[in-house]
Amino acid sequence: MTQLLATRLDSVKPSPSMAAKSHVDALRAAGRTIIDFTIGEPDFPTPAHIVSAGVDALTSGKTRYTGSAGIAPLRKAIAAKLARENGLAYTPEQVVVGSGAKHVIFNALAATLNEGDEVIVPAPFWVSYPDMVALHGGRPVIVTADERTGFKLVPQALEGAITPRTRWLILNSPNNPTGAVYSGQELKALCEVLLRHPHVWLMTDEIYEHFVFGGVRHVSPVALVPELASRTLVVNGMSKAYAMTGWRIGYGAGPLPLVKAMTLLLTQSTSCAASMSQVAAVTALEGPQECVAEARQLFEARRDRMVELLNRVPGIQCALPDGAFYVFASVAGLIGATTPAGKTLASDVDVMMYFTDVAGVAAIDGTSYGLPNHLRLSFATSIDQIEAGCAVLARAVEALSLPHVHEETSHA
């Protein structure tokens, strides 16, 4: 029998975050109470003025196909936003709208990668980057950036990873899963490396830009080093800042030849993003922004509480993230522990499964993000849920036999 499926799928894994959501849904369907820290989206509704704009679009007949690159008012609003908030000069023609930022990244890689091309992906990474590279015939080059560098790529490591086959560096700041935010000085140092290698393009995933805490600022690399604009794609979207995950609107801004190539792919795939969602996105970008500031303040309070509670649990160490809405906690102190059922927790995956299946608190293993012995926990949920979940985790750890936990791993 002839094989139906393409062999390139052999190198692609399902999204761990989507798999975690499915597992939580299955446990809940079976009657289990699960506190879910896997959530990668705000837990509050889309602001009312944005919803109203979407409803108005529906009732006024804005329900037809649009141009594949996006409606003109939205591309204009995006270009204005990039100038106003990020100091970036793009014309509306240099903007392409997709069905989410993930879609934009996928199309950029599809438009640019040939078989064997390399893409540098700092780890910890958002789970989809390496698989999207592999799906398009590329080779993800994983460069580890662990706690010693604040989970940030450093210039020496970047320089060492570049080869004649390198096509892209994907840089995600604020970062999912660690919450790391690159400073202007750190970004300049990385850009200086790229300036020495003119064949390497830069893709900046800035989807969490508005969620930075404690006086930290988000900076777009191209605003610091405009010389890189001719080979940079800036990726962003509506999902996080405006709680519009289900509306599926993302965008990219970059050189016109790349934007045209990505638009060509849209003409042969989705045709366009949903018309009513595009109209609502215009209102989100041009309307009042207090909702974004309020969300940031809410997430900062939740971050502080989750980190405080996790650091009280023996065997867990959790640095304070500067951005996004995740903590990336070390569970190295729990590796080798024994559960009440007699199972040894040999990896972060085992720790994750123990917390989810036994204790009823769901997180995602660090291995899925390229750095084992960690868990990603989202604080995009209420303080009540954070407190309840951390209390359950503490009791679950108390039930373990922890022969290797040292004094310094416990934060009373």
Mean pLDDT of 333-342: 96
**Is residue 379 within 8 Å of residue 325, measured between CB atoms?**
yes
Give 14's pLDDT tier (boundaries 50, 70, 90). confident
Q: What average pLDDT is seen over the chain?
A: 95
Q: What is the pLDDT of residue 197?
A: 98
Q: Which domains does the chain have, with CATH numbers?
A: 7-45+291-401 (3.90.1150.10), 64-287 (3.40.640.10)
Mean pLDDT of 356-365: 94
pLDDT at 25 over 90: no
Least confident piece of the model among 9-13, 241-245, 327-331, 337-341 = 9-13
Dist CA 87 CA 72 (whole Å): 21
Mean pLDDT to the nearest integer, 399-407: 70
Confidence of residue 379 (pLDDT cuts 50, 70, 90): very high
Q: Pairing mode, if any, of strands 374-378 and 201-205?
A: unpaired
Predicted pLDDT at 344: 97
In the chain, % of residues over pLDDT 70: 97
Task: Kindly tell me if the per-residue pLDDT of 22 is higher than 90.
Answer: no
> Which of 16-20, 55-59, 109-113, 186-190 is the least confident region?
16-20
User: Would you say residue 407 has pLDDT above 60?
Assistant: no
Residue 403 confidence (pLDDT) above 70: no
pTM: 0.94
What is the mean predicted confidence (pLDDT) over 384-407? 87
Q: Which residue has the tokens 């560096």?
A: 169
For the beta carbon of residue 235, count every other beta carbon within 10 angstroms.
22
pLDDT digits (tens, 9 = 90+) for 166-223: 999 999 999 999 999 999 999 999 999 999 999 999 999 999 999 999 999 999 999 9
Going by pLDDT thresholds of 50, 70 and 90, the confidence category of residue 12 is: confident
Q: CA 327, CA 320: separation in Å to the nearest integer? A: 7
Output the pLDDT for position 402: 84
Nearest to 249 by CA among 133, 103, 116, 374: 103
| 410 or 97, higher pLDDT | 97
* DSSP bridge pairs for 94: none
Average pLDDT over residues 253-269: 98
Rounded to an integer, what distance in angstroms lies between the CA atom of residue 253 and that of residue 230?
A: 11
Average pLDDT of span 30-39: 91
Q: How far is it, in rounded angstroms, from Cα 179 to Cα 307?
A: 12
pLDDT exceeds cutoff 70 at 292: yes
